[in-house]
Structure 1
Amino acid sequence: MPFDLQSKNYQSYGFLFKGQHQEDIVGLYSMGWEEVKTHTYNWHGMERDEIGKCVFQYTLSGKGAIEINGQYHTLEAGDAFLVQIPSNHRYFLPQSSDAWEFIHITLYGNEARKTYQYLQETKGHIIQVSPDSDLIKLWFTIFEEVSSKKISDSFQASTFGYAFIMELYRYAQNIASSPEKWPEAVTKAIIFMQNNFSKQIGLDDIVDASGLSKYHFTRLFHKVTTLTPIQYLTKIRIDKAIELLRLTNKSIEDVAMEVGYSNGNYFSKVFLKRIGMSPGMFRESKNKIPVDYLVID
């Protein structure tokens, strides 16, 4: 079930699983989606009980701050930080900010620590991550599994933790060619679309999520992504439809409803225009294409 950014149903989860493999490779310690509005929010890396933990925190909206070895960094939409516990850092809601919305994941284990140390030494503690990156999409996938109580043992937790570490490492390897930090309005709009594509949302809803006027938002969005907001929403919906057509036996009508279209006929027209074949033809062709997922531009 996609998450609704407008419902503000924030949650945090902690994990306590047995299994030496987590310490040897990667273990999942905690993760959450939060918004803080009080200036008592203040975490110091030398005053916590946890040992050997690695924190990734990504700003969705608002503004936070972190001090690392005496250097101050402002954290806005699209900024992520990487720190280890214990270390000389402190992240907090600064007096200049009324709110800070972010997602976070804390990992541990030998591979997690080695990867974090490498990234901090080569890329630094602060990185810019676009909201439609595979890294952020993976975070939401893991969070959905956690929220749906589908992670029930240490092996599943370790699998997701390792996947996140590898995606983080890959993102860092490509960071030189990554786009500049996206404006907060675009970040908020894209995450809204990613988590509400199954609903009957339109341009006005996307504009509302961005916090800008329709004129300024549509111009900014196209400048940053080269797509209109509706074209971007369509891409998200068709990507999900392809997954459902390949991996499930749901009817065309059910697939249409699940990806936000009111009926199968209209969905089929949109699918045909984008993919070049009808949903039915695409489903029949899946036995001829030996892949689980199809990547489209």
Structure 2
Amino acid sequence: MSQPSSWPIPNGSTRFVLPRRIVSELSEHPLSKDLYPLAMGYYKRAFGHSMSRSRHDDCLLIYCVDGCGKLNAGLKSYKITTGDFILLPKDEIHSYLADSKTPWSIYWLHCEGQLISEFISPLKKMSRHPVLQLGLHSRLISDFEALLDLRQSTQLFESYLHSSSLLRQLLTHITLLHTQARHHFDKTFDMEAIQSLMLRCVHETLDIDTLAATANLSKFHFIKRYKALTGSTPINDFIRMKIERACHLLDITDQRISEIAWTLGYEDAYYFSRAFRKVMGISPSQYRSIRLGKATYKE
């Protein structure tokens, strides 16, 4: 594990390093070997905090929840402010320090695992540098606090095992927040307007040209930008919205499936059923039977 800093810990801050024996067990246990924590902590208004590593052999996460700092990584320097999240994969040589006037308060966590690269690869794909502008999120802070609560029951291996699941939750939550943040901060691509148009037209047909015009882009560039931000195509998302509406109508009405199909702009009920099955994994009639208690999802 990369050496945590030797910064003297004042009141209100904490540092917790997992015992080597526990780390060894976590690295071999089938429920934790894919991802597990090595060390974690919270530094409050960290005056004088700094760290420099020429050797880095794990993954380091840092979430700045107050104040400022500076990061040097990949031959570049980054100013860190409140709401920034730092991702430093294995072998990323780096140094960082708290601002001298308004020093940061940070949550930090070293982690490892056989699938660590898979867990962080979505974040690396979405950002070309190690600083993600997530903003402040109380739930993300709660995720870090839940991991730090591990200190209260360190006599139980099961608590360490639980920390592996909490770490999975934290990383997938960060991926979700970063995706949402990209949607919000990309002022040149109004995702809200595009998806609002989809919802307004859920009972009709809607083509790519109309959606692209809303974004003032060519059809090719619109599809490319949309997929980069969402991981899906605009038409697939539009179909998903239609099927979600179909589920609602199947839940609250006794309309025939052909009538629901017509309501949602499908002239061919068979084509509608195919689209429904592709999204939901079952047919519209099976979906209704499950709601009425006449079938189970496994049938």
TM (norm. structure 1) is: 0.50
Q: Which has the larger radius of gyration?
A: 2
TM (norm. structure 2) is: 0.49
Q: Which has the higher contact order (CA 8 A, sep 6+)?
A: 1
